[in-house]
Every structure is written in C-alpha cells, then in structure tokens.
C-alpha cells in the first residue's frame, strides 16, 4: 500500500493516508521507525506492526490514563478514542482490555451515579444524564431496581420539598402565578405532577 498523504496534526503527530484514505495517526519519530514516506510503499510487515501491535497497545494505555482521573462509561471511552483518530480495531481492543479487568463497568457506573445523585436529582434527570453518557437503558433500570430495594433511590417528594424551601416557597402566601412558576420549576427538574402537588400543598 502506498503512503499518499502525511498531514501534520500537531507538533509531534501526523495523520497518515494510505491509498488516498485516512489510516491512522503516528508520532513523527515513528515515521522513520516504520519507513513511512510520502508516495512510497509501506511494507505489509510494518503495517501489521502499526495496526496490530502499536496502536492497540497505545489505545489501551490511553484508556488507562483517562480512567486514572475519573470513571468513564464504555461509550465515553469509545468517543474519546475516536476523537483521537484511533482505528476501529484498536478501539475495540482497548475497550475489551479495560473491560476484562473491570476498569470499565457500565452497570457499576450506573449504580454509583444513582447513589451519588439521588439526594440532588430526580429519577428522570438521572436517567437522561446516564443515557447521554451512553449507559444502556436496561442497565439503568437494573441499577434503579437495586437502589430502590436498598432504599437509596431518589425521593421525588423530598427533592421537591428541598427545592421549594431553597426558593422560600410558602403555600400559605403564594398566589396562583407563583404556584404555577414553582410547579414549572419542579417539573423541569424531573419531578412528577403528583409529587409536585403534594410538596406544594405541604
């Protein structure tokens, strides 16, 4: 295969094109190491080493470094690697590697997120945020079921009461306009109509 393009991505990295298609990103020192030169052939052996050894290991290391800072879902890591131009095969290798050691576990992520957020966010908001992070719906439902069984699921009425108190809402003095405004405020935070009604009446 012919190296048809070498595009500088940063001071240290380049995007490599083979046969007019983007292939991968290499550090500039690796261009010399693997004989990557514009309009010259890249040997099958060097291509195999780059795509089958170098990039998969680098992608796995990238995942490990990201996970040192905080927890990620599988979807978030996949997006991070894709944004860094790793080939699909390298991304799959890296994800399987970190999953095999349980460094990434979407079910555990969902449980931990629900537990840490239940005192501040409604179930609907938590579900939306986990969906944005790429956690499958069935895992979210299982995590909520576990949290409910343990008595740690969000209490919508308690959340509504907390926010109403912060807003200094008093049902004895509130006029209809204020009541509508507060009801809309709670609804935007994922509180259901029945919980809103009970909290505002109290």
Higher pLDDT, 46 or 118: 46
> Bridge-partner residues for 148, per DSSP?
none
- Please indicate, yes or no, whether the overall pTM of this predicted structure exceeds 0.95: no
Q: What is the pLDDT of residue 84?
A: 96
Q: What is the pLDDT of residue 8?
A: 96
Q: What is the pLDDT of residue 172?
A: 85
Q: What is the pLDDT of residue 198?
A: 86
The sign of the CA dihedral 75, 87, 11, 63 is: positive
70 CB burial (10 A radius; 0-12, 13-18, 19+): exposed
The length of the chain in residues reads 202
Q: What mean pLDDT value characterizes the chain? A: 93
Rounded Cα distance between 43 and 6, Å, is: 16
Q: What is the pLDDT of residue 120?
A: 87
Rounded Cα distance between 7 and 108, Å, is: 40
pLDDT at 28 over 90: yes
pLDDT at 152 over 80: no
200 neighbors 182 (Cβ within 8 angstroms): yes
Q: What is the pLDDT of residue 200?
A: 86
Tokens matching residue 173: 């003095």
Residue with tokens 């998969």, as numbered in its chain: 56
Average pLDDT estimate for 43-59: 97
* 85-122 per-position pLDDT tens digit: 999 999 999 999 999 999 999 999 999 999 999 888 99
């Amino acid at each position: 295969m012919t190296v048809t393009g070498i595009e500088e991505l940063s001071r240290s990295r380049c995007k490599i094109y083979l046969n007019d298609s983007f292939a991968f990103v290499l550090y500039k020192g690796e261009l010399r190491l693997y004989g990557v030169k514009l309009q010259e052939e890249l040997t099958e052996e060097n291509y195999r080493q780059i795509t089958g050894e170098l990039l998969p290991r680098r992608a796995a290391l990238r995942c490990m470094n990201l996970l040192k800072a905080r927890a990620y879902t599988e979807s978030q890591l996949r997006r991070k690697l894709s944004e860094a131009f790793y080939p699909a095969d390298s991304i799959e290798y890296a994800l399987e590697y970190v999953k095999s050691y349980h460094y990434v576990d979407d079910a555990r992520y969902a449980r931990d997120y629900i537990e840490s957020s239940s005192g501040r966010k409604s179930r609907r908001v938590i579900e939306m945020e986990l969906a944005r992070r790429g956690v499958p719906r069935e895992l979210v439902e299982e995590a909520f079921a576990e949290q409910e069984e343990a008595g740690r699921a969000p209490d919508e009425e308690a959340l509504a009461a907390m926010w109403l108190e912060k807003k200094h809402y008093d049902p004895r003095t509130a006029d209809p306009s204020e009541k509508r405004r507060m009801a809309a405020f709670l609804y935007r935070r994922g509180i259901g109509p029945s919980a809103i009604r009970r909290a505002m009446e109290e």
